[in-house]
Amino acid sequence: MKTAIIFDCEFLCLEGSQRRYWCAAHDPDPVIAQIGAARLGLEGDFPVLGTHKAYIPPKD
């Protein structure tokens, strides 16, 4: 069966920085805080074959 992995990342950033595309002089780079993923089968009703969640502690 062919499969696909769909993922989503959650970021820590300053309020409003996404609207500014992280381009303001005071906007630091976004920091990944969490990654979630799901493995889907690409046949039939697209069954969820597995999931994964990882929290990433921010470092200085």
Please compute the mean of the pLDDT values over residues 33-51 and round it to a whole number.
96
Burial of residue 13 (CB within 10 Å: 0-12, 13-18, 19+) is middle
pLDDT at 2: 96
- Is residue 51 scored above 90 in pLDDT? yes
Phi–psi pair at 11, nearest 5 degrees: -120, 150
pLDDT at 60: 61
Which carries the bigger pLDDT value, residue 17 or residue 8?
Answer: 8
Which carries the bigger pLDDT value, residue 44 or residue 29?
Answer: 44
| pTM greater than 0.85 (yes/no) | no
